[in-house]
Amino acid sequence: MVPNFMKKVKSVNQLTLIARRYPGFVVKCSYGVMVVAFTVLLSSGIFHSYEQQIVQQQQEVYTKGLKIDKFFETTFSNVNLLRSQAEYFLKSTPDVKTQLTTYNYSKRLDKKHNFNLFVLKDTDIGAASPIFTRGKDTNLGNEVEMSLSLTPLLHPIYEQLQIKGRIRYTSFAALTMTYPATSQVSDDEIKIFKNVINQDFITGGMQKNNSTRETYLTRPHKDIFDQGLMVTATSPIYQRDKHLGNIGIDFKLEALNRFVEQLGGEHSLLLTVDGEVLSHYTMKTTSVISLEQLVRNPAVRTKLLKLLKNARNSQVTIDGYVLTHYKLQNVTWSIVNVTTVNSLAKNILIRHLPVICGVLIGFTGLLLISIRTIDKIFKKLDKARIIAEQTNKKLKEALNELEVLALTDKLTGAWNRRHFEQVISAEMSRASRHNQPLSLLILDIDYFKSINDRYGHQIGDAVLVQLTHILKQNIRTSDVLTRWGGEEFVILTPFTSVKEATDLAERLRLKIARASFKIVKNITISLGVAQFQTAENVSNFLKRADAALYQAKHNGRNMVAVAPSTLDTWIQGVEKNI
């Protein structure tokens, strides 16, 4: 019967005839073809979706790991900056002996936060711990002055912290400095120093435990002010070969947990190399929990502990679990995602259920629609696609034009403040990361108001346009010329030292002074120059350049003034006080 049936299938007309004679058989065959095709498509789709979800999970963990690495890199850089400043002070300041035996000092450094510095009494040192000693070579007065020398750096560093923290210095001479101050220290001084002994904030920095004198991250420890568990990025401070104490930045474990949560990615664990869980989305307390409490499967737990100790970055499947592991670069911690294969498959089915239903409906529809009708539909869709692509191209061109207009000054064609604020943040980050120079010029037309008053605003605008044209012709394409407001302009010069920027400013000043302007004839400009310094924010960078411009104006105009560095200003202040 089958051979006879196959012989009859010679054309579309024969198929139509067979369908009319055997409608039940044709329907069954059609549904059979549909089910087979649907099953193959579904299996292929689920497998592809599973692979995509595995890759996506790996990308989420690695992205979070890179963000946490960046956070610790910045933190360690700030700690090293504090240490360098402290050791510079100790090296450059004469070691004058003082008879200081106790000290308690508190000062408000900004609108919100106090700075606190105190020294334990000689009579209380023995009650705190044998680790705190004051021998003949102890100079408390010098350490106090060293601590006070750090105050200009405390607020800028604190403002950079992505997690609420606290900057702290603790000395083996029973001296401690905190910013922001937790509270006024009164009767709990001995207790505070006893709490210090239980941390590797200070003991981990000893020569026997840290012979390379590197900055390191402590294990979770109890806060000396009884504010829960903390972790500290800390570095030892040496005066020649003598270890005076440690300086660092404290972070609450609770705040670190919230920070990791905010970075995104479900079910991520922040683990120490020994398997202590520091952060997890289910943690509601500030205590450290063990890996066993979260991962019940012994085989998975054993494999995970091996990854923490040996592997760099990896993703493995074991006993029905997918383990995605990223080892942080700056600390001995890891970011790990532990997910069951069943939960991944369940998520795929739930996520793609509408697609599955759509495919089923689509196959059913294809059995009912002729090839000709489908061809017409696809031709119309293709025509609509071409029209949509052309429209989209025009929209993109219009958007690009609008974006340029939104970032430039309408009168002069120079960049505006919005573009400048985007560029300067990126350039400051690059300069800090690669240790490359970055300088800023602020210039102002001398007596511009008198030009407007005498010739009118149209002539004043023409002067601004011609000035912009001259400036553009005499700077590099990589330099960012911005109209800051009125007759004031800013030029950001990447890869440029303060000396090179000063030479550029002088050349521009001479060019403008020798140029002939319509109606007005001659004008002059005054310029202020500043070089970016590590750990400096945008506001301070601009403020120093603006102060230099003011100095040029004050000194008689038509000249260039250079802003001194923050360190030079501080040294001049110290020398003046001395």
Can you read off the two tokens belonging to residue 507? 């050349």
Among 293, 299, 290, 350, residue whose Cα is nearest residue 321: 299
Can you read off the two tokens belonging to residue 225? 């002010």
**For residue 374, which amino acid is it?**
I
Active-site residue, selected from the candidate residues 487, 488, 500, 536: 487
Asked if 86 contacts 237 with a C-beta cutoff of 8 angstroms, the reply is yes
Q: d(Cα 207, Cα 225) in Å, to the nearest integer?
A: 26
Annotated catalytic residue 487: yes
Asked if 65 contacts 77 with a C-beta cutoff of 8 angstroms, the reply is no
Can you read off the two tokens belonging to residue 202? 């200070």
Q: d(Cα 265, Cα 57) in Å, to the nearest integer?
A: 8
Interacting residues of 35 by C-beta distance below 8 A, sequence separation 6+: none
Q: Rounded to the nearest 10 degrees, what angle do helices 457-473 and 498-514 cross at? A: 130
Asked if 206 contacts 243 with a C-beta cutoff of 8 angstroms, the reply is yes
Interacting residues of 126 by C-beta distance below 8 A, sequence separation 6+: none
Can you read off the two tokens belonging to residue 87? 């050791």
Q: d(Cα 251, Cα 223) in Å, to the nearest integer?
A: 10
Asked if 225 contacts 209 with a C-beta cutoff of 8 angstroms, the reply is no
Q: d(Cα 162, Cα 572) in Å, to the nearest integer?
A: 33
Q: d(Cα 19, Cα 29) in Å, to the nearest integer?
A: 11
Interacting residues of 179 by C-beta distance below 8 A, sequence separation 6+: 109, 113, 114, 115, 116, 151, 154, 155, 158, 166, 167, 168
* Residue spans of beta strands (DSSP E) within 448-524: 480-485, 488-494
Please name the residue ranges forming H helices in 98-234: 125-128, 140-149, 151-160, 189-197
**Residues belonging to the active site:** 487
